[in-house]
């Protein structure tokens, strides 16, 4: 009798074996706070991303990749575990602990004989030591090499150099799995660095939810410069793989954790917050120059990586592999079941009495984005008196909170219980259709479908256990300062 696990391993590995291929290497490249529209492959002209564009040109460019939670540590937990954030207990929040009962794909591959490691930013920010992880869940760290960046806002981590150190330590004939984690374009930036680099603010495209001013344009230029910095490290990694003859036997994934660190984007449940870039290259196993519109969830990365490696996905992974989409050879819509995305948040950063969060659930389809704000009487970006702490400090933020105009309201003002946007005509989510009587049936059906799916996935908020989210401790650097402020503000 064939053991079930051995049979499943054989079944998954069969397509690779049929091609006479060695087990593929895995290189996962992730920017920190990079928006989905800011790459040359997507038609952007003011952010230069030749390495990402090459991966897209020689592989597959995805137009609809989404994270289920637009903040660093919740998204990264989803990527590693293959689970949506409402299925991750404490890891649904920013600056949380990382539960140890969920398998992560680097460990799954390491147990299957892969040499694993990471550099830069892995899972975080948060506390993984408290739950017994021996190292960052993204892998053993390779962080020794540094360089001198051109501007102070950029990390001095030599990501590509550390990848080379990792490769030098790899045992011969052993496949590898490496997490290349940039800290760019996370803030803070050296203000004016984009202009000093010779960039023209007139070339910038300003989204409709931000004012078109010199302050905003220059802030976006500084952001672009940092996106480009990490892209050069991806390029160096590709070059190294070419030099050692491993490029075409490496599954290369290039993506981000959520949208850019600007008001109404990072940490917020709007399109630009949770829609992320994605390009994948896999040598001759994936036909190049394709653009795919299927919905990809970040929880799908882990089972996809496992299937590509010929290793069974962990039983705790709830995502769905999209190897079939990658290898189909087709563009456009490949898998008709990939047409719905769910998004959620509870608490990200502190900024309300009692460390309260701002709970949201949302459903995205090809036509609509439906948003349910469960605490509409509270401030979505943090209380005004605490400085709207769920929005990164920046020249753009300072500008918006200096005047109570429509841009301030869109980023910091209170929001209605329901929002509905037409994704065909309003991807910047500027025109809320929820109050339109003609949209009542659309709203009702989307709410019912969303909450039914969330109940099926065990979301505590849908199962009458939302008080669990209030028990999650915040482990961030502002905790002490906020506790002091709260104590002193009480009568």
- Structural domains of the chain in order of their starting residue, each with its CATH number: 4-326 (3.40.720.10), 341-489 (no CATH)
Terminal CA-to-CA distance of the chain, rounded, Å?
73
Question: What are the C-alpha distances in Å from 6 to residues 2, 140, 163, 265, 371?
Answer: 7, 28, 32, 45, 44
Q: What is the pLDDT of residue 73?
A: 97
Beta-strand pair 115-120/60-66: unpaired
Torsion (CA) 330, 335, 339, 344 in degrees, nearest 10: -100
Angle of helix 50-58 versus helix 214-243 axis, rounded to 10: 60
Over the chain (491 residues), what is each successive 10-residue block's mean pLDDT? 35 40 94 98 98 98 98 98 98 96 98 98 97 97 97 97 98 97 98 97 98 98 98 98 98 98 98 98 97 98 98 98 98 97 95 90 98 97 94 98 95 98 98 98 98 98 96 78 49 38
The answer to whether residues 199 and 224 touch, using CB atoms and an 8 Å cutoff, is yes
Q: What is the pLDDT of residue 456?
A: 98
Q: What is the pLDDT of residue 48?
A: 98
Q: What is the pLDDT of residue 352?
A: 84
Q: What is the pLDDT of residue 479?
A: 55
Torsion (CA) 374, 434, 64, 469 in degrees, nearest 10: 0
Task: Single out the residue of 297, 243, 273, 314 nearest to residue 421, CA to CA.
Answer: 273
Spatial distance between the Cα atoms of 328 and 160, rounded to a whole number of angstroms:
31
Beta-strand pair 290-292/115-120: unpaired
Torsion (CA) 387, 393, 395, 398 in degrees, nearest 10: 0
pTM, two decimal places: 0.94
| CA 403 to chain CA mean position, Å | 31
Q: What is the pLDDT of residue 476?
A: 83
Six-digit token string for 437: 């009587």
């Amino acid at each position: 009798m064939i053991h079930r696990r051995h049979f499943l391993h054989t079944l998954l590995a069969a397509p690779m074996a049929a091609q006479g291929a060695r087990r593929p290497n895995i290189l996962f490249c992730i920017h920190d706070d990079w928006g989905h529209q800011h790459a040359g492959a997507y038609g952007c002209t003011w952010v230069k991303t030749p390495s990402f564009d090459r991966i897209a040109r020689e592989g597959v460019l995805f137009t609809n990749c989404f994270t289920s939670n637009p903040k660093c540590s919740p998204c990264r937990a989803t990527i590693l575990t293959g689970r949506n954030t409402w299925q991750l207990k404490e890891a649904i929040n920013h600056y949380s602990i990382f539960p140890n009962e969920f398998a992560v794909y680097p460990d799954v591959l390491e147990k299957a004989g892969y040499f694993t490691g990471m550099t830069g930013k892995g899972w975080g920010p948060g506390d993984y030591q408290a739950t017994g992880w021996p190292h960052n869940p993204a892998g053993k760290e390779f962080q020794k090499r540094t360089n001198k960046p051109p501007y102070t806002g950029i990390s001095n981590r030599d990501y590509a150099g550390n990848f080379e150190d990792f490769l030098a330590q790899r045992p011969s004939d052993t496949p590898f799995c490496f997490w290349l984690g940039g800290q760019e374009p996370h803030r803070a930036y050296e203000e004016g660095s984009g202009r000093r680099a010779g960039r023209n603010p007139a070339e910038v495209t300003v989204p409709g939810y931000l004012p078109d001013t010199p302050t905003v344009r220059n802030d976006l230029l500084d952001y672009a410069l940092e996106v480009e910095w990490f892209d050069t490290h991806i390029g160096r990694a590709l070059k190294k793989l070419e030099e050692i003859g491993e490029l075409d036997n490496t599954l290369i994934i290039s993506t981000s954790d959520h949208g850019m660190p600007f008001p109404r984007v990072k940490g917020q449940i709007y399109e630009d917050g949770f829609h992320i870039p994605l390009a994948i290259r896999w040598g001759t196993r994936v036909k190049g120059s394709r653009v795919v519109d299927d919905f990809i969830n970040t929880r799908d990365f882990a089972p996809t990586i496992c299937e590509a490696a010929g290793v069974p996905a962990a039983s705790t992974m709830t995502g769905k592999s999209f190897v079939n989409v990658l290898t189909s050879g087709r563009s456009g819509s490949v898998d008709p079941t990939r047409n719905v995305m769910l998004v959620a948040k509870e608490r990200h950063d502190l900024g309300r009495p009692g460390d309260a969060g701002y709970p949201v659930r949302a459903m995205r389809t090809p036509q609509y984005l439906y948003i349910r704000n469960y605490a509409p009487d509270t401030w979505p970006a943090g209380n005004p008196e605490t400085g709207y702490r769920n929005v990164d400090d920046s020249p753009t933020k300072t500008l918006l909170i200096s005047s109570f105009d429509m841009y301030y309201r869109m980023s910091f003002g209170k929001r209605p219980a329901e929002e509905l946007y037409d994704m065909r005509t309003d991807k910047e989510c500027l025109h809320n259709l929820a109050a339109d009587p003609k949209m009542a049936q659309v709203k009702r059906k989307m709410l019912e479908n969303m909450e039914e799916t969330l109940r099926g996935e065990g979301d505590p908020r849908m199962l009458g256990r939302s008080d669990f989210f209030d028990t999650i401790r915040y482990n961030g650097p502002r905790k002490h300062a906020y506790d002091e402020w709260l104590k002193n503000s009480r009568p």
